[in-house]
Amino acid sequence: MTDFILDWERLQRTGIAEAVLCDGKSAAQIEAILRHAGERPLLLTRLETALFHALPAESRAGLDHDPLSRTAFHGAVPPPALDGVCVVCAGTSDLPVAREAVRSLAFAGYRAPLVADVGVAGLWRLMQRIDEIRSHRVVIAVAGMEGALFSVLAGLVAAPLIATPTSVGYGVAAGGRAALSSALASCAAGLTCVNIDNGYGAACAALRILRSMEGRAA
């Protein structure tokens, strides 16, 4: 008897497929989940490299693991073919969270170009890419430190913007609470926000918006 129940009907109910948070789980627990999944596609999040290598070789061979984002695809996941969302990343240090969003969207079938290193400390870099960013129906903004990118970008694009604060920073910015507070206190109308370092959650929010626009649940 297993001590977990995978929600395979979640995709039909909500448009968001089942995913497994690996943080806090042992290699044996993850291996049991993979065996239970069989051939069905499954997204694994927060799968650290050390934990990935602790899995049996057969399990590792069946996973598409990305060390930077700490995500893995299990089963046959078709290449992403849908468009509509863009991920904008303030700095190189924010890339793990940004890549988690990109990979989560790819698992759901969406291509999500990553516009990286366009933080407000060099505002000209953002303005060089703004037309590209504006061409998307949903924008995910990922930033740590003071999180200024959220308000700036939300004042420049018409698309729904999902602020994703990261724990990048030092001093009062450490832990991501400064960036989170900036997002929540933003004067940019219509800005929405997910929790600190939650690239997966930002991707799921984008999927709900996109699929609502498209008039479909999944």
Q: Could you report the per-residue pLDDT of 149-165, keeping only the tens digit for each?
A: 999 999 999 999 999 99
Query: Listing from the earlier edge strand, what are the strands of the sheet with 19-21?
Result: 19-21, 42-45, 71-74, 63-66
pLDDT of residue 1: 40
Q: Is 10 helix (H, G, I), strand (E, B) or coil?
A: helix
> For 75, which DSSP code?
S
Listed range (11-20, 80-89, 159-168, 169-178) with the worst mean pLDDT: 11-20
Mean per-residue pLDDT over the chain, rounded: 90
Q: Measure the CA–CA gap between 111 and 114, rounded to whole angstroms.
A: 10
Tell me how far the alpha carbon of residue 87 is from its chain's centroid. 9
The Cα–Cα gap between 140 and 187 comes to 18
pLDDT at 166 > cutoff 90: yes
* Total-model pTM: 0.91
**Angstrom distances, CA of residue 30 to CA of 144, 149, 180, 216:** 30, 36, 31, 32
What is d(CA 139, CA 60) in angstroms, rounded to the nearest whole number?
A: 33
